[in-house]
């Protein structure tokens, strides 16, 4: 074996290492590509993106091709290195040992680690480069691939395993979070998509206006007196009840009322519409379809005893999806006020999960049988809250500072000051 043979072996080993890196990088690229982005590009006429998707769709054949090619070049490079070192050292055993050590390091660095790291940084770019080559190799190795595919099917029959490939809601939200963190979508769009995904999980009772806050009119109220109620309250629709708010018999619209007033009408029954009754456990998504079906904008939520639990409007449903909507007549309510770094004022009408988020508390409203701050206070105190009642929750000290005979209306929340470092 002469110098030319040594040069030939070196060139052969180099070629094998290059192909080893190619196969390793190809595997990483095709396992980390963003298929959603590629589908969009393919639909827009990107031929190379469409080719990547076709190769990726035949994943088992592609992976078998990569593994066969990788093993061929790695074994070939190791064999050539063994012959070369055995000739140089004039000792077959020593040459084999040195060859194993050297080729292990070379293959790991240049055939595995480096190409996989580079492919992971730019999977789509490398997939565009290697897709045509892989497609040709998949065709070239079709007979070998066929044999291995039959072997895989045999293994699948022997080791049967039921797999559920359905994407869960949590996985969808994780995809949105990753897209937002990578800058693919902004925070507002990310929040909108998350709200849409979670839309079907929200119960109507979580967004209703509670019974104690309802403004309605008795069906026996003088017709002219209703004008004053509309003027004093920023509502375009009012429930009509008989005897008590637990028996809502209709809904009147401000526009219908004033039109009837101008026409000289004096009977509420002539302008009221039939209310839609629902349970508080109805999902918001189902409620939206019901409001659309019955062509109404308001529904009465009844409790398990048939009494009125509250009302919910189309605006409430939309706000659950897109956030608060304010018009010219809405009064902006600030549920949370920061007094200083450790003290806060909380309106008890606020949603419990919003309070936890505002106070940066690692808790969830799913841990409690309520959705409002007032319900949470009642649950913690195990009684109707009174002014001066207090309790501790995590690092917070909560005190009821305002209330009525039936519920708390305002809390003062104080966070424990961080312990100061001992003086040295």
> Of the residues 279, 298, 322, which one is the last residue of a structural domain?
322
The verdict on 343 and 312 lying in the same domain is: no
Cβ contact 204:284 at 8 Å: yes
Q: Which of 251, 230, 226, 256 is closest to 240 using CA atoms?
A: 251
Alpha-carbon span 26 to 31, nearest angstrom:
9
Residue 163 lies in a domain: no
> Of the residues 322, 346, 375, which one is the last residue of a structural domain?
322
Cβ contact 180:186 at 8 Å: yes
Is pLDDT at 327 greater than 80 in this prediction? no
Residue 424 lies in a domain: no
Neighbour-count burial for 62-75, b at 16+ CB within 10 Å, e otherwise:
bbbbbebbbeebbe
pLDDT tens for each residue of 175-232: 777 777 766 677 777 777 777 777 777 888 888 888 888 889 998 888 888 899 988 8
Average pLDDT over residues 31-44: 85
Residue 131 lies in a domain: yes
Q: What is the CATH number of the domain that holds 297?
A: 3.10.580.10
The verdict on 93 and 15 lying in the same domain is: yes
The verdict on 259 and 192 lying in the same domain is: no
Is pLDDT at 331 greater than 70 in this prediction? no
Please report where in the chains the tokens 């110098």 appear, as a residue: 3
Residue 329 lies in a domain: no
The verdict on 59 and 80 lying in the same domain is: yes
Residue 285 lies in a domain: yes
Average pLDDT along the chain: 84
Residue 420 lies in a domain: no
Q: Which of 393, 358, 357, 388 is closest to 376 using CA atoms?
A: 393
Alpha-carbon span 410 to 373, nearest angstrom:
9
Provide the domain limits for residue 269.
204-322
Alpha-carbon span 212 to 62, nearest angstrom:
65
The verdict on 48 and 100 lying in the same domain is: yes
The verdict on 13 and 53 lying in the same domain is: yes
Is pLDDT at 420 greater than 60 in this prediction? no
pLDDT tens for each residue of 220-245: 888 888 899 988 888 889 999 998 89
Where residue 414 falls (left for φ over 0; alpha for ψ -120 to 50; beta otherwise) is beta
Cβ contact 363:340 at 8 Å: no
Average pLDDT over residues 71-92: 85
């Amino acid at each position: 074996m002469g110098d030319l043979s040594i040069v030939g072996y070196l060139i052969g080993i180099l070629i094998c290492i290059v192909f080893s890196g190619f196969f390793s990088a190809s595997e990483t690229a095709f396992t980390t590509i963003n298929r959603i982005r590629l589908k969009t590009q393919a639909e827009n006429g990107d031929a190379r993106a469409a080719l990547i998707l076709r190769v990726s769709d035949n994943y088992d054949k592609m992976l078998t091709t990569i593994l066969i090619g990788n093993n061929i070049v790695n074994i070939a490079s190791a064999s050539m290195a063994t012959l070369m070192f055995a000739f140089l050292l004039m000792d077959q055993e020593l040459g084999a040992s040195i060859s194993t050590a050297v080729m292990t390091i070379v293959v790991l660095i240049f055939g595995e680690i480096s190409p996989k790291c580079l492919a992971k940084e730019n999977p789509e770019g490398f997939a565009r480069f290697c897709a045509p080559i892989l497609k040709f190799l998949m065709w070239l190795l079709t007979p070998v691939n066929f044999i291995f595919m039959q072997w895989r099917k045999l293994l699948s029959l022997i080791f049967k395993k039921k797999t559920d490939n359905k994407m869960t809601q949590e996985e969808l939200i994780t995809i949105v979070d990753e897209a937002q963190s990578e800058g693919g979508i902004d925070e507002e769009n990310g929040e909108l998509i998350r709200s849409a995904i979670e839309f079907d999980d929200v119960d109507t009772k979580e967004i209703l206006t509670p019974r104690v806050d309802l403004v309605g009119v008795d069906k026996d109220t003088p017709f002219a007196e209703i004008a004053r109620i509309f003027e004093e309250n920023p509502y375009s629709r009012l429930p009509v009840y008989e005897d008590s708010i637990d028996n809502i018999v209709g809904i009147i619209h401000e526009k219908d009322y004033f039109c009837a007033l101008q026409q000289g009408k004096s009977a509420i029954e002539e302008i009221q519409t039939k209310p839609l009754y629902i349970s508080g456990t109805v999902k918001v998504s189902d409620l939206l379809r019901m409001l659309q079906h019955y062509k109404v904008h308001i529904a009465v939520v009844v409790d398990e005893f048939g009494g009125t639990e509250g009302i919910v409007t189309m605006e409430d449903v939309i706000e659950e999806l897109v956030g608060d909507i304010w018009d010219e007549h809405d009064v902006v309510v600030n549920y949370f006020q920061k007094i200083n770094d450790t003290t806060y004022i909380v309106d008890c009408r606020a949603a419990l999960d919003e309070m936890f988020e505002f106070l940066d508390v690692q808790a969830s409203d799913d841990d409690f049988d309520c959705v409002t701050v007032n319900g949470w206070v009642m649950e913690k105190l195990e009684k109707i809250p009174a002014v001066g009642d207090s309790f501790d929750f995590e690092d917070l000290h909560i005190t009821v500072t305002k209330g009525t005979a039936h519920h708390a209306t305002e809390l003062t929340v104080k966070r424990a000051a961080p312990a100061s470092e001992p003086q040295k």
